[in-house]
Amino acid sequence: MAEPLRIALAGLGTVGAGVIRLIEANAALIARRAGRPIQVTVVSARDRNKDRGVDLSAFAWEDDMVILGERADVDVVVEMVGGSDGPALALARTTFEAGKSLVTANKAMIAHHGLELATKAEAAKVALKFEAAVAGGIPVIKGLREGAAANEFQRVYGILNGTCNYILSTMEDTGRDFGNVLTEAQAKGYAEADPAFDIEGTDAAHKLSILAAIAFGAKIDFTAVATTGITRIRAADIAQADALGYVIRLIGMAEPGRNGDGPALFQRVHPHLVPVDHPLAHVDGATNAVVAEGNFSGRLLFQGAGAGDGPTASAVVADLIDIARGEIGAPFSVPVSELEALVPAETGHRAGRSYIRFMVTDRPGVLAELTAAMRDAGVSIESLIQKGRTEEGGEVMVAMVTHEGPESSVSEALRLLDGSPSLTEAPLVLHILED
Ligand X SMILES: NC(=O)c1ccc[n+]([C@@H]2O[C@H](COP(=O)([O-])OP(=O)(O)OC[C@H]3O[C@@H](n4cnc5c(N)ncnc54)[C@H](OP(=O)(O)O)[C@@H]3O)[C@@H](O)[C@H]2O)c1
Interface contacts to ligand X, rule CB under 6 A? 11-16, 45-47, 50, 65, 80-82, 87, 105-107, 132, 136, 307-308, 312
Residues 6+ apart with CB under 8 A from 204: 160, 161, 164, 227, 250, 252, 269
Minimum gap (Å) between residue 160 Cβ and ligand X: 11
Minimum gap (Å) between residue 303 Cβ and ligand X: 16
Rounded to an integer, what distance in angstroms lies between the CA atom of residue 398 and that of residue 37? 62
Minimum gap (Å) between residue 163 Cβ and ligand X: 10
Query: Which residue, 307 or 356, is less far from ligand X as judged by CB?
Result: 307
Is 125 a residue of the active site? no
Could you tell me if residue 301 is left (phi over 0), alpha (psi between -120 and 50 degrees) or otherwise beta? beta
Minimum gap (Å) between residue 291 Cβ and ligand X: 20
Query: Which residue, 11 or 143, is less far from ligand X as judged by CB?
Result: 11
Minimum gap (Å) between residue 424 Cβ and ligand X: 38
How many residues are listed for the chain in this entry? 435
Query: Which residue, 65 or 433, is less far from ligand X as judged by CB?
Result: 65
Minimum gap (Å) between residue 31 Cβ and ligand X: 25
Query: Which residue, 107 or 120, is less far from ligand X as judged by CB?
Result: 107
Return the residue nearest ligand X (CB atom).
Answer: 13
Rounded to an integer, what distance in angstroms lies between the CA atom of residue 366 and that of residue 377? 17
Q: Which of the following is catalytic: 107, 142, 207, 219?
A: 207
Rounded to an integer, what distance in angstroms lies between the CA atom of residue 141 and that of residue 229? 24
Rounded to an integer, what distance in angstroms lies between the CA atom of residue 428 and that of residue 409? 15
Residues 6+ apart with CB under 8 A from 75: 5, 6, 7, 100, 101
Query: Which residue, 161 or 227, is less far from ligand X as judged by CB?
Result: 161
Query: Which residue, 105 or 181, is less far from ligand X as judged by CB?
Result: 105
Rounded to an integer, what distance in angstroms lies between the CA atom of residue 423 and that of residue 325? 61
Minimum gap (Å) between residue 225 Cβ and ligand X: 17
Query: Which residue, 96 or 358, is less far from ligand X as judged by CB?
Result: 96
Query: Which residue, 200 or 346, is less far from ligand X as judged by CB?
Result: 200
Alpha helices in 264-330 (DSSP H): 309-324
Rounded to an integer, what distance in angstroms lies between the CA atom of residue 7 and that of residue 74? 6
- Please name which of 108, 55, 130, 46 lies closest in space to residue 320, comparing C-alpha atoms: 130
- Please name which of 95, 415, 168, 137 lies closest in space to residue 290, comparing C-alpha atoms: 137
Rounded to an integer, what distance in angstroms lies between the CA atom of residue 395 and that of residue 176? 19
Three-state helix/strand/coil letters over 61-96: ECCCHHHHHHCCCCCEEEECCCCCCHHHHHHHHHHH
Rounded to an integer, what distance in angstroms lies between the CA atom of residue 356 and that of residue 426? 11
Map residue 305 onto helix, strand or coil: strand
Map residue 350 onto helix, strand or coil: coil
Minimum gap (Å) between residue 324 Cβ and ligand X: 21
Rounded to an integer, what distance in angstroms lies between the CA atom of residue 264 and that of residue 218? 10
- Please name which of 153, 134, 170 lies closest in space to residue 288, comparing C-alpha atoms: 134
Catalytic positions, please?
207
